[in-house]
Structure 1
Amino acid sequence: MLVDSHCHLDFPDFADDLDGIVARAHAAGVGRMVSISTRVRRHDALLAIAERYDSVVCSVGTHPHHSGEERDVTLDDLLVRAAHPKVVAIGEAGLDYFYDYGPRDAQAASFRIHVEAARRTGLPLVVHTREADADMQAILEEEAGRGPFTAVLHCYTGGRELAFRAVELGHYVSFTGIVTFKKSEDLRALAASLPADRILVETDAPYLAPGKYRGKRNEPAYVVETAKVLAETRGVTPEAFAAQTTENFFRLFAKTPRPAGVGT
């Protein structure tokens, strides 16, 4: 079994094909999908999708792109929504200096609120970080001093220093189809060097389809292709890699129900 630890099933790209998306994921051996929140103000629609399918769970949070629009989202807003049985994570939140769609002060303020929500709930924080390694590392280190929380750096494309510092702080690193691209040698080398118990796989669907499907709409079933490349990169069998990353997922996203017969 594999898990797609990060996708966006509430995006318009999937509106007319949700049953097919979930069915193809199951047929490919993907037993759980986490549909990630990008706007708290639109969380009800996301939650409805998670409630519709046994194999789908979700998060709650504000993407840094929308941090300026959701400055009024409070810690209590996150805590109340996080109490729902289908909400298994906080985020995605973080820093994006590549696009800078959200004002940087709003991104940082929102991110810290999400860290506190993760700390209060015990749910993992889904971290978006792009072209912001130094500031992200500084915030993670500072917040670690205020009390424990767990996190995953999703769709990782940053540097080695941030990745290994995150692992030292107790966090995880997740890879998308980007790791399958021909020019991603450095990213594959990083993925090969990280501890086996700190790696996750994801699609970030509908974006970033792996090489075999590049240019097409991504979907959770395609996480299999990313896992194959990562298994080869790390010198293990696809079956062993699937078992390891699935166990990693359930250790981190502990609120997610395990399918019968999977792990403990």
Structure 2
Amino acid sequence: MLIDAHCHLDFPEFDEDREAVFERARAAGVGHFMVPGTTRERWSGVLTLGERDDVSISLGLHPYFMQDHQEGDTEALARVLDEHPEVRALGECGIDARFEESLDAQWELFNAQLRLAKSRQLPVVIHCVHANDKVSKRLRQLDMPAGGLIHAFAGSPDQAWKFLDLGFVVGLGGAVTYERAQRLWRAVRSLPRDGFVLETDSPDMPPCGHQGQRNEPARIGRICEMVATLRGETPEAIAAQSTATASRLFGLDLG
């Protein structure tokens, strides 16, 4: 069984056919889904999805949506985490350095969420774009006890290992299926068996051949096959490794 370790199935792109998306994923061998919250407004929908037996959730404040966040959101997140012990991680949070005008605010929000996760010993689901070195430095300073996931990793082997040495794992998604991703390919080959999880980031990050289309968890098999090819292993072995690592990271008991 495969776990899609990061998919936004609460997003409106799935409102018209969400159950069909789950069915196609199950037919493709995906048996469990990690759904992260991105804004305070969307947490209720994520919590509702988390009532399903095949969905686990995290909640956070995403740097891409800075215009949607308001004063008091971090305190609200703390309250929701206390009220919902079923939440498996804090996130999606992080830094997106493409948006220079909001970087100071992003770091303030990210730091607040890291401290919140540390105080509750929760793993952190991190969005990190053009900021791997700065984020790994901050994580080293804080010493996060439960580690977490560097979602949609696209960096170098050295950057990957900096995260691994801090107790984090990297998420491998659609980017790995593109031939231009030579640096990422080198990183994938360097990873230990317990250093990665597979994810789709649905509805975003479609694999090669599906550019411009809505992504969905059923396509995680293409990612699995590519990782297997790069590492000289079977897709079955890669799926088993990813599922075991995701289960350990998020404390999932799927037996």
Aligned to 1:80: 79
Contact 2:169 2:196 (8 Å CA) reproduced: yes
1:53-202 to 2 correspondences below 5 Å: 53-67=52-66, 69-73=68-72, 75-83=74-82, 84-100=84-100, 103-144=102-143, 148-202=145-199
Structure 2 equivalent of residue 28 of structure 1: 28
Of 39-48 and 5-14, the range deviating more from structure 2: 39-48
- Alignment check: 8 A CA contact 1:10 1:46 kept: yes
148-157 or 72-81, which deviates more: 72-81
Deviations 1:44-78 (A, max 9, x none): 12212222x32112111011122354252455422
Q: CA deviation at 1:149?
A: 3.4
Would the aligned equivalents of 2:156 and 2:183 in 1 still touch at CA under 8 Å? no
Whether 1:238 aligns to 2:247 is no
The separation in 2 between residues aligned to 1:204 and 1:172, in whole angstroms, is 16
Whole-Å Cα distance in 1 between the matches of residues 172 and 102 of structure 2?
26
Structure 1 residue identity aligned to 2:172:
F
Give the secondary-structure state (helix, strand or coil) at the position aligned to 1:152.
strand
2:47 corresponds to 1:47: yes
Give the aligned length.
254
1:12 aligns with 2:9: no
Question: 1:67–1:110: 8 Å Cα contact kept in structure 2?
Answer: no
Question: In the TM superposition, what is the alpha-carbon distance from 1:194 to its structure 2 partner?
Answer: 1.2
Q: How many angstroms apart in 2 are the aligned matches of 1:207 and 1:71?
A: 25
**Distance apart, 1:85 and its partner CA:** 4.6
> Take 1:232 and 1:73, find their aligned partners in 2: how far apart are those partners?
46
SS at match of 2:88: strand
Contact 1:8-1:204 at 8 Å conserved across structures: yes
SS of the counterpart of 1:87? coil
Q: 1:73 to 1:231 in 2, by over 3 A?
A: farther
Give the counterpart letter for 2:29 in structure 1. G
Structure 1 counterpart of 2:218, which letter? A
* Mapped pair 1:250 → 2:247: yes
Distance 1:133 1:50 in 2: 30
Runs of 4+ in 1 over 6 A off after TM superposition: none
| Residue segments in structure 1 that go unaligned for 5+ positions in a row | none
Amino acid at match of 2:152: C
Q: CA deviation at 1:231?
A: 1.0
Q: Structure 1 residues 209-218 or 236-245, which shifts more?
A: 209-218
Return the alpha-carbon distance in structure 2 between the equivalents of residues 191 and 19 of structure 1: 32
Q: CA RMSD in A?
A: 1.7
Cα distance in 2 for partners of 1:231, 1:82 equals 36
Give 1:89's aligned amino acid: A
CA distance in 1, matches of 2:253, 2:145: 23
| Alpha-carbon distance, 1:148 to partner | 2.2
SS in 1 for 2:167: coil
Q: What is residue 200 of structure 2 aligned with on the other side?
A: 203
- Secondary structure (helix, strand or coil) at the match of 2:42 reads helix
- Structure 2 alignment gaps of length 5 or more: none
